[in-house]
């Protein structure tokens, strides 16, 4: 089904409100999910709505959270999300980080007790659109075998980075520390597609192309991805006094309980380190020079990080967003949720 961004936003918001979230919070959740679908990141878009709705309905996402914010140093703070919708918690805490970086040059805001927040690039892009550089990272539940291991320990532990460029353009980089995010496998399941056998392994530890047979994900670039996911777990978990490693709560184990996840925003104001003109001109030159590099066989052009997603977003706004039929049928149904996720394993959910 092909939908405009406005239509998709309305359907998602209505379903999230039906589950129990307020108009304001449901609007933010819909914003983040439509952002992902517009940019072709369907793993973090409408395919997630039923899961969020089930968790909200069962109390595992607090529909009336009491947020708190405490500055703990000249450029540091902690935002407590009271297990509210992760998209809302991540956005409001990023707004605090943006305000601090604008005034002080640097902001490090730890975010604790939150639920899944979706595409991290949405939040770092907010900072870049205001002339700031941002990094965000968060923990996720154990789904990945550490390099050299045969049992899961860390999560996909994603990292996002955004920086401002000329004429409103931004550089955006959003990645899981696994070869692919778990949401990509969920998307493949919903589309009845196979996956590359380099993404994950089955119960026996063998590579698999069947998304339904996945029982563990693989770290990107072996020991390098393993090191990065450990870094994310320490900075967004251990440093905030939260559960870490295999103790991080499961996405599906008990949807009536809050997940108590952690996230970390680091925001920098380039004007505290160089002039704004030099920074923007240098990013503009970087974009131009990358685009002029002779492409490798099979490629038409070298794109800067985020440029392909920008192109996809522009086409989506013009031509609409393709949503798989099962997801669309759920969005227009009378059901708040269909009990698809509670007390399932991460890989069977």
pTM, two decimals, is 0.94
- List 322's β-bridge partners, or say none: 2
* Percent of all residues in the chain with a pLDDT value above 70, rounded to a whole number: 99
Is the per-residue pLDDT at 349 higher than 60?
no
Which pLDDT value is given to residue 181?
79
Bigger pLDDT: 314 vs 344? 314
Least confident of 42-46, 84-88, 178-182: 178-182
Least confident of 67-71, 82-86, 180-184, 201-205: 180-184
**Distance of CA 32 to CAs 41, 119, 139, 264, Å?**
11, 7, 18, 18
Question: Do the Cβ atoms of 346 and 143 come closer than 8 Å?
Answer: yes
Which pLDDT value is given to residue 346?
74
Is the per-residue pLDDT at 57 higher than 60?
yes
Note if 116 is an active site residue. yes
**Position 348 confidence tier, pLDDT thresholds 50, 70, 90:** low
Helices and strands in the chain: count of H runs, count of E runs:
10, 11
Question: Do the Cβ atoms of 255 and 342 come closer than 8 Å?
Answer: yes
**Catalytic one of 9, 42, 44, 116:** 116
For 275-283, which contacts have Cβ atoms below 8 Å and span 24 or more sequence positions? 276/131, 279/164, 280/164, 280/165, 280/166, 281/166, 283/163, 283/164, 283/165, 283/166, 283/171
Question: Do the Cβ atoms of 51 and 108 come closer than 8 Å?
Answer: no
- 137 CB-side CA count, 13 A: 21
Question: Which domains are present in the chain?
Answer: 2-273+311-332 (3.30.1370.60)
Is the per-residue pLDDT at 347 higher than 80?
no
Which pLDDT value is given to residue 241?
98
**Position 104 confidence tier, pLDDT thresholds 50, 70, 90:** very high
Which pLDDT value is given to residue 205?
85
**Position 272 confidence tier, pLDDT thresholds 50, 70, 90:** very high
Token pair of 67, please?
């947020």
Residues 6+ apart with CB under 8 A from 286: 304
């Amino acid at each position: 089904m092909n939908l405009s961004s406005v239509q998709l936003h309305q359907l998602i918001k209505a379903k999230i409100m039906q589950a129990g979230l307020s108009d304001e919070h449901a609007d933010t959740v819909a914003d983040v999910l439509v952002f992902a679908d517009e940019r072709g990141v369907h793993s973090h878009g409408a395919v997630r709505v039923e899961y969020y709705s089930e968790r909200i309905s069962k109390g595992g996402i607090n529909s009336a959270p009491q947020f708190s914010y405490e500055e703990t140093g000249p450029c540091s703070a902690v935002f407590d999300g009271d297990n509210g919708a992760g998209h809302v918690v991540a956005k409001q805490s990023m707004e605090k980080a943006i305000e601090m970086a604008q005034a002080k040059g640097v902001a490090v805001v730890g975010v604790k007790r939150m639920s899944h927040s979706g595409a991290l690039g949405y939040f770092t892009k907010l900072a870049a659109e205001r002339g700031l550089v941002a990094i965000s990272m968060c923990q996720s539940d154990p789904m990945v075998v550490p390099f050299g291991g045969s049992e899961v320990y860390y999560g996909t532990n994603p990292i996002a980075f955004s920086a401002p460029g000329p004429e409103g353009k931004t550089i955006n980089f959003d990645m899981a520390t696994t070869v692919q995010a778990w949401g990509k496998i969920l998307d493949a399941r919903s589309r009845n597609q196979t996956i590359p056998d380099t993404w994950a392994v089955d119960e026996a530890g063998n590579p698999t192309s069947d998304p339904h047979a996945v029982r563990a994900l693989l770290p990107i670039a072996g020991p390098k991805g393993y090191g990065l996911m450990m870094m994310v777990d320490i900075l967004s978990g251990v440093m905030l006094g939260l559960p870490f490693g295999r103790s991080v709560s499961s996405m599906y184990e008990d949807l009536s309980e809050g997940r108590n996840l952690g996230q970390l925003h680091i925001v920098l104001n380039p004007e505290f380190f160089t002039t704004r003109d030099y920074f923007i001109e240098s990013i503009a030159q970087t974009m131009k020079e990358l685009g002029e590099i002779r492409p490798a066989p099979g490629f038409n052009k070298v794109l800067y990080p985020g440029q392909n997603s920008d192109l996809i977003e522009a086409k989506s706004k013009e031509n609409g967003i393709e949503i798989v039929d099962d997801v669309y049928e759920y969005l227009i149904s009378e059901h708040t949720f269909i009990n698809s996720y509670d007390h399932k394993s991460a890989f069977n959910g």
